[in-house]
Amino acid sequence: MKNALVCGAGGFIGSHMVKRLKKEGFWVRGVDLKFSEFSETEADDFVIGDLRDQFFSRQIIDRKFDEVYQFAADMGGAGFVFTGENDADIMHNSAMINMNVLDICHKRNIKKIFYSSSACIYPEYNQLDPDNPNCKEDSAYPANPDSEYGWEKLFSEHLFLSYLRNHGMEVRIARYHNIFGVEGTWDGGREKAPAAVCRKVAMAEDGGEIEIWGDGIQTRSFLYIDECIEGTLRLTRSNFPGPVNIGSDEMVSINTLVDMVAKIAGKKIRKKHIPGPLGVRGRNSDNDLIREQLGWAPSCSLRDGLEKTYAWIKDQVEKME
Ligand code: NAD
């Protein structure tokens, strides 16, 4: 039986990865500061603890795992990442986790390790035009991410690639673009745009109004969680280290996103544009490299992903009421 370690297994992507690895017959150990809020973990062993702590990390990385997935990070949506208020935590905590996990895996002679980087590493100067952003993998340099979150991810990409170069580790790196779906954070300040919009629409009356940060003309693409997991596994088991985008190339404005969710909800919704943390003007996944290297790219439509996500968030909202 193969075994896998999932760091950040109590989080959104990590908990979905645990489920998928269990379906494939793996023995899975999950590690996180917390359990998943939304469903019982399926991991064979789930350890609560802090991956910034070297001693703890050495205890849980106690064998030669066949695959390690490193998702643990101090992160959130625009309200967490772009206000500047959490920069020290984001940089310190995530870098500490990456340095510990990677080095201890190397010392246990573990070869295969996946690292979740982000589209936030791309330079701001290529993402000023909402209709024409450039997020080709090789456009990352000269580097100028618009957040400390992006700088930490870029540092950690280099860290992982150094262990590939110097220690022969089979590092695989994806740059995720806005992953969303069921059992993702939907309130509390760390939620991302699709979840926040679904929550606001679910809570609004038909004919009501919801608040949108900025003019809503800023563009993004959003990838449904199942395809994120599929792409991650394909990359991890391929011979290509990356970094490579894992994202959807169906770019929409935030205003369009709101209209789509309102339509799914069957509600008429007015948008009130208010100041708020925004990030870059435009961003879209460029999928040429992943197609070329893996012969695969995400294809699920935004509408399909939103239907499932809206239904789940509406249910969560109703349970709260
Ligand atoms: P998430 O916040 O749901 O999961 C991260 C998990 O890491 C959390 O459960 C958190 O408790 C855990 N964690 C944080 N600090 C820890 C510590 N010191 N020790 C142990 N666990 C700790 O985030 P997610 O959406 O599942 O993202 C997973 C990874 O993918 C992250 O590295 C994130 O930066 C990256 N990523 C996500 C997206 C996205 O859209 N979701 C986009 C780009 C990159």
Query: What confidence tens digit (pLDDT) does each residue in 261-302 have?
Result: 999 999 999 999 999 888 889 999 999 999 999 999 999 999
pLDDT digits (tens, 9 = 90+) for 201-221: 999 999 999 999 999 999 999
**Above pLDDT 90, what percent of the chain?**
93
**Above pLDDT 70, what percent of the chain?**
100
Nearest CA to ligand 1 atom 37: 176
Better pLDDT: 278 or 50: 50
pLDDT at 320: 84
Report d(CA 11, CA 183) in Å as an integer.
Answer: 9
Q: Read off the pTM.
A: 0.97
User: Which of 2, 20, 23, 14 has its CA nearest to residue 67?
Assistant: 2
Ligand 1 centroid distance, CA of 268 (Å):
34
Q: How many CA atoms lie within 13 A of 319 on its CB side?
A: 7
φ, ψ for residue 66, nearest 5 deg? -75, -35
Does 152 contact ligand 1 (Cβ within 6 A)?
no
Does 176 contact ligand 1 (Cβ within 6 A)?
yes
Does 173 contact ligand 1 (Cβ within 6 A)?
no
The number of beta carbons lying within 10 Å of the beta carbon of residue 151 is 19
Ligand 1 centroid distance, CA of 205 (Å):
33
User: Which of 129, 150, 77, 122 has its CA nearest to residue 281?
Assistant: 129
Does 220 contact ligand 1 (Cβ within 6 A)?
no
Region of 95 on the Ramachandran plot (φ > 0 left; ψ -120 to 50 alpha; else beta): alpha
Distant-in-sequence, close-in-space partners of 307: CB < 8 Å, separation ≥ 6: 264
Does 97 contact ligand 1 (Cβ within 6 A)?
yes
Ligand 1 centroid distance, CA of 71 (Å):
5
Ligand 1 centroid distance, CA of 73 (Å):
4
Nearest CA to ligand 1 atom 21: 32
Would residue 141 show up in a list of annotated catalytic residues for this protein?
no
**Considering the chain, what is the average pLDDT of its residues?**
96
pLDDT digits (tens, 9 = 90+) for 73-98: 998 877 888 889 999 999 999 999 99
Report d(CA 144, CA 126) in Å as an integer.
Answer: 10
Q: Which atom of ligand 1 is nearest to the CA of 97?
A: 18
The number of beta carbons lying within 10 Å of the beta carbon of residue 223 is 26
End-to-end CA distance of the chain: 45
